[in-house]
Structure 1
């Protein structure tokens, strides 16, 4: 049994297989998920687990060198926008429709129970050295 960190076996394994520049999407429960990326569905019910809870868990285990959010996030969901900015600093912004098309190129999508608009981020993996 792991002492700490992400306990979800499938998610933990998927994170261990990521490499430099692979993309991981943390998604709200409404984001359309295309065929292609591995999907880890954590959504239990609306709001559980929250987007920021899942993001915090990932950031404790994965090196991130960049991130993309929908340009509509700041106006459409200021609470999540503030949380993302606190955790990730400056992010690239694209229109929501373009964001959805970028999801197909991700290695991994993690679906949360978040039920607020634009609560999605694409994380680009870095290396710890």
Structure 2
């Protein structure tokens, strides 16, 4: 049994199954996910769990080499924008293009986040050993 970090069995299994260049997303509660893309739904109620804490837990478990978010986040959601631009160095792209890319994800982790554009698309990296 795990003693720290993520304890959601389905999420841990999905993260362990990632390979180099696979993409996955962490989303707010309203992101439309195309049919066929698995969704790991963590949302319990609007606002819980929040986007930022889930992203932080996920990043503690997986190596990421790139991130993308919607350009609309800058004006609509300062907290998510700070995470995306300052902490993740995410490339901000057109929201319609962001949604198209979601269709190619291995999976989406849906949070209970109830603020707009709190979404990030990640590309898995490799934890090369020295």
Work out whether the TM-score is over 0.5. yes
Counterpart Cα distance in 2 of 1:10 and 1:105: 19
Q: Quote the residue 1:119 is aligned against.
A: 118
SS in structure 2 opposite 1:105? coil
Superposition deviation, residue 70 in structure 1: 0.5
Counterpart Cα distance in 2 of 1:86 and 1:12: 26
Q: Deviations over 1:68-105 (max 9, x none)?
A: 100111111111111223431x2212111111111000
Counterpart Cα distance in 2 of 1:37 and 1:21: 17
RMSD over aligned CA atoms reads 1.0
Q: Does 1:54 align with 2:44?
A: no
Runs of 4+ in 1 over 4 A off after TM superposition: none
Q: Normalising by structure 1, report the TM-score.
A: 0.95
Q: Deviations over 1:10-54 (max 9, x none)?
A: 111111101001111100000001122221000110110000010
Flag structure 1 segments of 5+ consecutive residues without an equivalent: none
CA contact (8 A) 2:69 2:84 kept: no
Matched length: 128
Q: Quote the residue 1:7 is aligned against.
A: 7
- Using the TM superposition, name which of 116-125 and 36-45 deviates more: 36-45
SS in structure 1 opposite 2:81? helix
Superposed counterparts of 1:32-51, under 5 Å: 32-51=32-51
Q: Normalising by structure 2, report the TM-score.
A: 0.94
